[in-house]
Amino acid sequence: MNILVTGAAGFIGYHVCKELLSQGHRVVGIDNLNDYYEVGLKYARLSELGIAEAGQLEYGSTTQSNSLNHFSFIKLHIEDRELLPEVFKKEAFEVVCNLAAQAGVRYSIENPETYIDSNVVGFLNILESCRHFGVKHLVYASSSSVYGLNEEIPFSTSHKTDTPISLYAASKKSNELMAHTYSHLYGFCTTGLRFFTVYGPWGRPDMALFLFTKAILEKKPIQVFNHGNMSRDFTYIEDISKGVNNIIHEDTHARATAKEWYKLYNIGNSSPVALKEFIAAIEQSLGVKAIQEMKPMQAGDVASTWADVSGLQKDYHYTPNTPVKEGIEKFIAWYKDYYQVS
């Protein structure tokens, strides 16, 4: 298939591109390469996909991979209402996987405008382009943060999600509502995925595993929020990318015939881990004890997450099977190699 992956230089986007390319698909990647976190890491991910000197790329132009015949990349904002539709018109995508978004719960409190630009205006631009240029299936990233103040666990897509506690969460909930509207009005398939705390090699530097590993190796204290009384449904990146791949391979003709235009799923590990256990696993893998600095709960955060993934298991044979200790060891091996830490 001919597939667009937005956010291709991001953590999940990079791994999804790799998975799709391994299946023989033609993939076009889009990313604006913003500096929300260490932009060199985004360049390095693209380098792994054969896009050299990403820092020198011209905005809006297509660069062919020098190592992967079926991959090309365009530096582009998804909210660009002139150039994005031109890409859709030229490429005639069958499937779009929208992973581009301004990420981060706490950053949304400090920089709300950025989230509206990327996560709302940008997503509308994706939907409009899908509508006008015959895309059969849009798979897009939502987030477990939409559950907000919901106290029922495990989190189920049947639960109400009308109490978000960050603008990031509200922007992701808006994506689900917008997708439903477009599926209903224009009859193309959309599948929303509520991601639960994804981690692994090439991960984001603002996430806990990255922050903890860096601080522990540098013998600096780690900040442990809510005094460690938290748990997360940590999900290993390869389980995520394989799950996304399964969804993209769905028979959209059969789904369209059944008029199952709109679907929504949790995608997690369905096995929450206490924060204290998570830290202990990092310490064990590094062979170094953490200096822990206990902090109160942060604004916009929640005490626990736990995904009910039964829908994804039933419909797409989704089987996350990477234990957290194994995933942490793989991340730390990558971290030491990437940053040349002995």
The set of catalytic residues is: 168
Cβ–Cβ < 8 Å for 28, 72: yes
Task: Find the radius of gyration of the CA atoms of the chain.
Answer: 19
Separation CA 18–CA 245 (nearest Å): 10
Spatial neighbors of 260 by CB under 8 A, at least 6 apart, are 189
β-strand partners of 224 = 294
Separation CA 308–CA 144 (nearest Å): 11
CA 26 to chain centre: 20
